[in-house]
């Protein structure tokens, strides 16, 4: 356990914040030992890619470094893979596609750790973590007890789970088990960008590895690499609006992108709403709205968390004024 540690290297937005205490754990036993000594409140950090610090952390930050990827069960056309919560998510994707396994190729290059993936039910290009999820193991921060959560118990929703709701801040996810296909893959190439990129690669019958490659290419052209320009991916969720709100938008913008949902609501891309309000590529001090994807806020260097949060609020305010839609942050703002 070390004290007064800068969290700047541990958050991909690259803002300065200090943890009163900081510890890295590589096993469940180390985690339990750390929790026994930790000053409260405890914050578990994975890759730090979905978090914005707007102030110092008064207690202990525990960085999850629990590694390991293993096949735990085999079935005729699929198998279960269990990965440590501290593994890098994209390393798990690469491991899977190299073995010819299917199921998470569309989730390539999503920054962050395996343990953070279920918290917000990561998703991209038509696939969500919940589609392949079997169960997770987590240690309760207050007691050190290890518990298993099934898929049903996690109550996954769009970028949502119980770990963002009433169980928020109470657990450290130490392992995640996924069900991946060994053959007869259920590939998802329905997303326009994916289909176009595969075509440009000259691939007619894609393997999971081809799809992974296509998704990596798409993400690299649209999204900033946090190692080069600080960001935490999509800052807001894509809002779901009722038919009346949508009708208003449609009358003004007949070509507005939108996705009808089974419940009669309409999902409108937040990036589009933000662009209509004139924010795309705009810079305010050290922060800005990314030039190729308005949903991503970026650190142009030396930004503070408050500065980034102020920009997020200004953006949300203009979207509310113009469209009557309240944007909700996807990122965990602390
Ligand atoms: N759009 C604009 N202007 C912009 C950005 C987007 O007009 O500046 C419009 C375009 O019409 C585009 C549509 O919005 O067709 C959707 O944009 P995009 O395909 O980039 O996806 P998104 O809805 O903005 C979501 C996820 C991403 C994920 C992509 C691909 C959320 C909050 N974000 O973004 O996830 O990679 O779909 O599936 O659901 C993340 O969560 O951090 C993330 C990057």
Indicate which CATH number applies to the domain containing 46.
3.30.43.10
pLDDT the model gives residue 293: 96
* DSSP E strand stretches across 116-236: 123-124, 127-128, 133-140, 146-150, 171-181, 230-234
Out of 159, 161, 219, 294, pick the active-site residue. 159
Nearest atom (ligand 1) to Cα of 122: 41
**Residue-wise pLDDT tens for the chain (334 aa)?**
999 999 999 999 999 999 999 999 999 999 999 999 999 999 999 999 999 999 999 999 999 999 999 999 999 999 999 999 999 999 999 999 999 999 999 999 999 999 999 999 999 999 999 999 999 999 999 999 999 999 999 999 999 999 999 999 999 999 999 999 999 999 999 888 999 999 999 999 999 999 999 999 999 999 999 999 999 999 999 999 999 999 999 999 999 999 998 899 999 999 999 999 999 999 999 999 999 999 999 999 999 999 999 999 999 999 999 999 999 999 999 9
Same domain, 265 and 134: no
Q: Are residues 214 and 238 in the same domain?
A: no
pLDDT of residue 132: 98
Closest-lying ligand 1 atom to the alpha carbon of residue 126 = 38
Q: Which of 221, 256, 282 is the last residue of a domain?
A: 221
**Is 73 in the same domain as 215?**
yes
Phi, psi torsion values for 257, nearest 5 degrees: -65, 140
pTM given for the model = 0.94
* Pocket of ligand 1 from Cβ distances under 6 Å: 124-125, 222, 233-234, 237-238, 257, 269, 271-272, 275, 280, 293-295, 330
Are residues 59 and 174 both part of a single domain? Answer: no
Q: Are residues 117 and 212 in the same domain?
A: yes
CA pair distance 156, 132, nearest whole angstrom:
12
Centre of ligand 1 to C-alpha 259, Å, is: 12
Q: Print the domain residue range for 282.
A: 230-333
Which domain-ending residue is among 164, 199, 221?
A: 221
**Ligand 1 center to 293 CA (angstroms):** 7
Instruction: Determine whether 244 is exposed, middle or buried from the number of CB atoms within 10 Å of its CB (0-12, 13-18, 19+).
Output: exposed
pLDDT at 249: 93
- Residues 215 and 329 reside in one and the same domain: no
Counted domains in the chain: 3
Give the atom of ligand 1 at the shortest distance from the alpha carbon of 191: 38
Tokens of 127: 């696939």
How many angstroms is it from 174 CA to the middle of ligand 1? Answer: 29
Same domain, 177 and 85: yes
């Amino acid at each position: 356990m070390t004290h007064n540690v800068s969290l700047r290297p541990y958050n991909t937005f690259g803002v300065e914040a200090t943890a009163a205490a900081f510890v890295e754990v590589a096993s469940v036993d180390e985690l339990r030992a750390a929790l026994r000594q930790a000053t409260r409140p405890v914050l578990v950090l994975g890759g730090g890619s979905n978090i914005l610090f707007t102030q110092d952390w008064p207690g202990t930050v525990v960085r999850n470094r629990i590694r390991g990827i293993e096949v735990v069960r085999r079935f005729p056309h699929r198998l279960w893979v269990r990965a440590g919560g501290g593994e890098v998510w994209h390393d798990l994707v690469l491991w899977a596609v190299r073995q010819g396994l299917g199921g998470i190729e569309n989730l390539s290059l999503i920054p962050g750790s395996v343990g953070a993936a279920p918290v917000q039910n990561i998703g991209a290009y038509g696939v969500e973590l919940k589609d392949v999820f079997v169960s997770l193991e987590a240690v309760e921060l207050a007691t050190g007890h290890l518990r298993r959560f099934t898929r049903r118990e996690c109550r996954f929703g769009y970028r949502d789970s119980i770990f963002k709701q009433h169980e928020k801040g109470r657990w450290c996810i130490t392992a995640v088990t996924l069900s991946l296909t060994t053959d007869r893959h259920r590939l998802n190439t329905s997303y326009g960008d994916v289909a176009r990129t595969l075509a440009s690669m000259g691939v007619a019958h894609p393997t999971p590895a081809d799809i992974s490659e296509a998704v990596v290419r798409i993400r690299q052209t649209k999204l900033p690499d946090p190692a080069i320009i600080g960001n935490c991916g999509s800052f807001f969720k894509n809002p779901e609006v009722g038919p009346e709100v949508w009708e208003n938008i449609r009358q003004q913008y007949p070509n507005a992108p939108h996705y009808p949902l089974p419940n009669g609501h309409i999902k409108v891309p937040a990036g589009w709403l933000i662009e209509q309000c004139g924010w795309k590529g705009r810079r305010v001090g050290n922060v800005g709205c990314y030039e190729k994807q308005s949903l991503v806020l970026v650190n142009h260097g030396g930004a503070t968390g408050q500065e980034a949060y102020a920009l997020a609020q200004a953006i949300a305010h203009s979207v509310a004024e113009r469209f009557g839609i309240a944007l909700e942050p996807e990122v965990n703002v602390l």
